[in-house]
Structure 1
Amino acid sequence: MNVKTSKQAMIFAAGLGTRLKPLTDTMPKALVRVGGKTLLEHVVERLKGAGFEHIVVNVHHFSGMIVDYLRRNNDFGIDIRVSDETPALLDTGGGIKHAASLFDSDMPVLIHNVDIFSDINLTELYCAGMASDATLLVSRRTTSRYLLFDDDMTLVGWTNVETGEVRSPYAGLDVSKCRMYAFSGIHVFSPRLFSLMDTFPDKFGIMDFYLKICDKIRIRGMVKDGLRLMDVGKTDILSDAEAFLSQCNADGNN
């Protein structure tokens, strides 16, 4: 796969979409529509507009429907490849690992959830990701779970502020001295990390992977102040998503 001058991305579209029931009783989450377009088309268009020419889409729930949908739309005029997880869901880390052979080994991969809308400039994020092994888009959004960074915005751990749980490869990490940010579900992954996944099982979360190895490699956080982000994975959010997209598109952030 010769894509050495092209940007590449992966869209997580394999999930069961349980929060979107009953819609996902008969279709995959990726094909739920907002403003007349599927969630998958919205994300593909954003990536294509930012110059991404090679995209991997993982599939599981109603996988055949997504494959047929991409075929009917001629892969939206770019190189879209399917990573088939029909036999079993592999979670976010396992999904990336399973798709390894579909990526060029010399270029970063922008990872994007199919049910996340945002106004982030994807080109800017991708370029920033070239300087590290992984770059995580984060913001000051209020949540119960935060990623922990040092003063240089290097990932050092994770915490749940409601339970007090802390996860970090650094023993005795002082959370009070860390910078706390919420993860967006969008990040840039270097194929250099695939070899470090060899000891992981087929199914694992990407954040579990990052938290286990962040003392050995460079994982940075990219802060987007005022980031507009919408998780459209819930039925009560869908009605607001069209207006959100219209505003983001009007601002023209690629």
Structure 2
Amino acid sequence: MKAMILAAGRGERMRPLTDHTPKPLLRAAGKPLIEYTLENLAAAGFTDIVINIAHLGALIKNHCGNGARWGLSIAYSDEGETALETAGGIAKALPLLGDTPFLAINADIVCDCSLRPLRDVKLDLAHLVMIDNPPHHPEGDFALTDSGLLAEQGETKLTFSGIGLYHPELFKGVPAAPLKLRPVLNRAIQQQRISGQKHSGIWLDIGTPDRLEHFSNMVGSERAPIKT
């Protein structure tokens, strides 16, 4: 199974740190964020990685190279200077991802969800890892039903973690143009074709300088979430 790291975002909430450094290359405890993700993917048995890039993307490409130092093979989907959002970015990368299910993970999250078991999940169009709603997203995204399917409404909503398995068919007809993932997911959820699971461990969205500092402190205290 291939994996895609979604690394094309501009990182507006991180400015001015991201004015000259792409967010995936910001350092926590001396190591670029994207390296934590690459190490976790390698440890979980993923070997073929696709990284989408846009803002200052050449810096990411120059830093990660072909992935050999992590035992990986890395290909790049270059979106130019303007990122295509998640759905558009995945649609553009499909020729690199192939015609079988793949894992996609946001480059700016830290999570101790074990990635290796996800390789064996049987999915229809998608399978999303959900978490309890963080303080900055109290309304949540989707409900997880007793049957393991996602629903747009429910008594208790959860937040999408940024870790998901996708079948390429989900993006059939989706243009390689700026488009968020939510409307694509909504259509499939209405057809009852997206499953999910809840993760109750560590999850961080490294979206602000304060959260970057918090993760750096976690690493420094040897509490970095590393699960394969």
- TM-score, with structure 1 as normaliser: 0.80
Question: Aligned pair in 2 of structure 1 residues 100, 217: CA closer, same or farther (>3 Å)?
Answer: farther
Tell me: CA distance 1:20–1:89, structure 2 relative to 1, closer, same or farther (3 Å).
Answer: same
Q: In structure 2, how many angstroms separate the alpha carbons of the residues matched to 1:115 and 1:62? A: 16
2:206 paired residue number: 232
Task: Spell out, residue by residue over 1:162-199, the C-alpha distance to the aligned partner (whole angstroms, 9 max, x if none).
Answer: xxxxxxxxxxxxx44xx42121111111123232xx15
1:65 to 45, 55, 59: 59
Equivalents in 2 of 1:215, 1:126: separation in Å? 25
Q: Residue 244 of structure 1 corresponds to which residue in structure 2?
A: 218
Pair 1:95–1:73, CA change in 2 (3 A): closer
CA–CA separation in structure 2 for the residues paired with 1:135 and 1:90: 22
Q: Report the equivalent of 2:164.
A: 187
Q: Distance in 2 between matches of 1:223 and 1:148?
A: 10
| Shift in CA distance, 200/155, structure 1 to aligned 2, threshold 3 Å | farther
The structure whose Rg is larger is 1
**Which of the residues 102, 127, 130 maps onto 1:135?**
127
**Which of 77, 80, 83 in structure 1 is aligned with 2:74?**
80
Contact 1:59–1:85 (CA<8 Å) still a contact in 2?
Answer: yes
For 1:150, the equivalent position in structure 2 comes to 145
Deviation of 1:201 (Å):
6.6
Runs of 4 or more off by more than 4 Å in structure 1? 72-75
Question: Displacement of 1:105 after TM fit?
Answer: 1.2
- Look up the match of 1:43: 37
Partner of 1:103: 97
Which residue matches 1:208? 183
RMSD over aligned Cα, in angstroms?
A: 2.1
Question: Closer, same or farther in 2 for the Cα pair 1:39/1:199, shift >3 Å?
Answer: closer
CA deviations on 1:35-78 (whole Å, 9 max, x unpaired) are 11101111111101111001110001101111111228646331
By how many angstroms is 1:237 displaced? 1.4
Structure 1: give runs of 5+ residues left out of the alignment: 1-6, 159-174
Contact 1:133–1:217 (8 Å) recurs in 2: no
- Cα separation, partners in 2 of 1:201 and 1:40, compared to 1, 3 Å: closer
Deviation of 1:242 (Å): 2.8
Aligned residues: 223
Secondary structure (helix, strand or coil) at the match of 2:65 reads helix
- Asked if structure 2 preserves the Cα contact closer than 8 Å seen for 1:60 and 1:84, the reply is yes
Contact 1:28/1:61, CA 8 A, preserved across alignment: yes
Separation (CA, whole Å) in 2 of partners of 1:49 and 1:191: 24
Identity among equivalent positions (%) equals: 30
The runs of 5 or more residues in structure 2 that have no matched partner are none
SS at structure 2 position matched to 1:52:
coil
CA distance in structure 1 between the aligned counterparts of 2:111 and 2:2, rounded to whole angstroms: 19
2:195 is equivalent to residue 220 of structure 1: yes
CA deviation vs aligned residue, 1:211-232 (integer Å, no higher than 9, x gap): 02223352011112x2210111
